[in-house]
Chain A
Amino acid sequence: MKTIQIIEDDKSLREELSILLKHAGYDVVMVEHFSDVYRQMTETTCDLILLDISLPEENGELLLQKYRRKHDTPVIMLTSRSSEMDEVISLSYGANDYITKPYHPTILLLRIAEILKRKDSPSKINMYQDIQVNLLKGTLSRDRQEEILTKNEMIIFQMLLEHQGEIVQREVLMTALWNNDEFLNDNALSVNVSRLRAKLGSFGLSDAIETRKKLGYLLK
């Protein structure tokens, strides 16, 4: 299980964030005393840090700058300051992402997942049963048989594959698509899912994706 460290001085925000992350299946470590954030930051081992910019004792940007000299754990800056300058500074100090408050929980989770994925899966080939899923080529293949997926279909399939055996809500699929600049509406999502089904069908897996009414889809 991945561990995420939250450095945020607003108590209610910090607690809601930890609930959100725990629900999403992460371990959470929180900084609660802000007198020596840097020491706590370096002593905790974690996979990703969510760092607020305006902290009571120190400035998050300076903390990040100091931290980056010795550590390469991914850091996402969270801030309510929304000027272009703040973003430029944070990114130049080595932030992996920069998210302004009020952020959307689903988007935050997607960004976290993206960064963690980038960090530890250099291989771009996954397997579904005996089918090879090639993300770079955008194909499904088995032996000599190959099906080309569109970008949308690949995003949907990937989301379902990552949560294989669980229901993935339509809303989550939509957000993942939108996050990749594919702004589908409800109807278009259904069309894409049924095309994906047809392509899986050619491998003899036409009922791999189940529709759960009013909930979402499930990949068996």
Chain B
Amino acid sequence: MKLGSYLKDRVPAYIMEALATIIVVVFLVAFRIQSQIIVLVLIVEFIAWISTELWEWSRKRKFYAELETKLEELERKYLVMEVMEEPDFLEGKLLYAALKETDKSMAEAVSEEHRQNKEFREFIELWVHEVKLPLSSLRLMCHNHPGMEEKFLMQIKRIEDYVDNVLYYARSDSSEQDYVIKEVSLHKIASAVIMRNREVLQLIDAELHIKDLDLTVLTDGKWLEYILNQLLSNTLKYKDENRGLKIEIHAEDHEQSSALVFHDNGRGIPSSDLPYIFEKSFTGTNGRTISGSTGMGLYIVKQMCNRLGADIVCTSVEQEFTEFKITFPKHDFLKMQ
């Protein structure tokens, strides 16, 4: 609270006071009081007035200045009243009481929302685990009763991928930390993902080049597996029908970081779409023309990379290739634990 703006706020009071003083002076003159006494009265009144104003301004200023800085510092601003002391002037007290009340109800609403969110997430996790049981049964049935199974398996794989999307979307969005960072072999992850997609890859007779993957990174293995699976299922979705599919996965080891590179010879991404592929609900030209894309896959991938502290970038040339590169920083202090 600046002195200038405080004074401005008080202008009507000053006008009243000035008017009152003028009237008093007029009376005093009319009663023929000595001019020295009039001056004395004016001086006393002026001093009293100035000091009252200064005192008023300074105690308010103290409270509001504190309020402003604390608001600035706090991340959750609605909790500001929890860190303030109660002021000693009436308006301040009223404001303090009102805001305290607001805060309380806000905090309650937020925690209720949190609780519901958590419950919902737990339900999703549970649901996903439950739905995997019939999916497993279906897979086994396909195997136990051969004939037609390729078609069924394709559809089962699709359902599995969609189910995984739900699970990891819930996980990536939540504020709770439910991942475990440890040393993970890129080779192991890549093999697991390829094995998960084995049927489709063998059916379309894809050419796979898995090389230089003998590298470990610090991350959550299951999350990375999901990320890679997402990239692979995009590759399968957007392959170029005119040529055989070639997929190359390799790793790069740098001083400060390691990277996993996923390269395919699919139809590529138009350069006008490229900057937006990681945005939520973005479907792009390929998504609209080829298959019902929800625009969630790469968004979830990006979110998960962010939470894992990894960086993902995409380069692509239309009709030629698409390449994703996931970079993991090296943290020596983590390794020592």
Contact = CB atoms under 8 A, between A and B. Distances in A.
Interface residues of B, number: 40
Interface in B202-216: 202, 205-208, 210
A84 B222 contact: yes
A84 B198 contact: no
Nearest to B138: A102
Interface in A12-44: 12-13, 16-17, 19-20, 23
Nearest to A85: B180
Query: Range of interface residues on chain A?
Result: 20 to 34
A171 interface: yes
B139 A185 contact: no
A220 B128 CA distance: 47
A186 B205 contact: yes
Looking at chain B's contact residues, is the secondary structure mostly helix, strand, loop, or mixed?
helix
Contacts of B132: 80, 101-102
Given A82-B222, A84-B222, A105-B140, A183 B180 contact: no
A175 B197 CA distance: 11
B222 A104 contact: no
Nearest to A52: B133
Contact of A102 (B135, B178, B191, B208): B135
Contacts of A23: 144
B195 interface: yes
A34 B143 CA distance: 27
Nearest to B179: A84
A88 B160 CA distance: 23
A12 B201 CA distance: 29
The 8 closest A-B CB pairs, nearest first, are A16-B140, A105-B143, A183-B208, A80-B132, A80-B129, A102-B136, A84-B180, A102-B135
20 contacts: A12-B134, A13-B140, A16-B141, A19-B144, A20-B144, A80-B133, A84-B179, A84-B220, A85-B180, A87-B221, A88-B180, A101-B132, A102-B136, A104-B139, A104-B195, A105-B143, A105-B144, A179-B195, A183-B210, A187-B205
